[in-house]
């Protein structure tokens, strides 16, 4: 099997998913402009995020945790959560979700 290499430019999430031959996890690339956030949401699966640039807060069940470039984050399954960019530059993250998350978030 050949590797799959995709640039986020011109592609939508999941960046790597079932159409690419992924069998276990999907990869997303998410950018938050200053002052914006992900939806406040809950899903049953845990997921991981790596902050590639910027800074902000991860809110889990109402409690805020500061995050910044270089931070690896584990968000437990079944908890209400949201990423918010509190800085003045783009906050970007790579998120890895289990395959069952596709089409359910």
Q: State which residues form the domain around 94.
A: 25-100
Sequence-ordered list of residues with C-beta below 8 angstroms from that of 105, at least 6 positions apart, any chain: 41, 43, 97
N-terminal to C-terminal alpha carbon distance within the chain:
29
**Domain CATH for 41:** 2.60.120.10
Place of tokens 């998350």: 101
52, 69 contact by CB (below 8 A): yes
Q: What is the pTM of this model?
A: 0.91
Asked if 98 and 25 count as a contact pair (C-beta separation under 8 A), the reply is yes
Q: Label residue 1 by pLDDT band (50, 70, 90).
A: confident
Whether 66 is in a domain gets the answer yes
**What is the model's pLDDT at position 36?**
98
Number of domains making up the chain = 1
Q: How confident is the model at residue 103 (pLDDT cuts 50, 70, 90)?
A: low
Token match 């998120």: residue? 95
Is there a domain that residue 55 lies in? yes
28 in Cβ contact with 95 (< 8 Å): yes
């Amino acid at each position: 099997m050949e590797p799959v290499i995709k640039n986020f430019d011109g592609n939508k999430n999941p960046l790597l998913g079932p159409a690419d031959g992924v069998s276990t996890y999907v990869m997303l690339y998410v950018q938050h402009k200053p002052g914006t956030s992900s939806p406040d949401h809950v899903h049953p699966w845990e997921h991981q995020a790596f902050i590639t640039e910027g800074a902000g807060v991860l809110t889990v069940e109402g409690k805020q945790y500061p995050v910044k470039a270089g931070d690896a984050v584990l968000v437990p399954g079944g908890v209400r959560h949201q990423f918010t960019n509190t800085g003045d530059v783009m906050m970007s993250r790579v998120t890895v979700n289990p395959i069952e998350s596709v089409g359910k978030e």
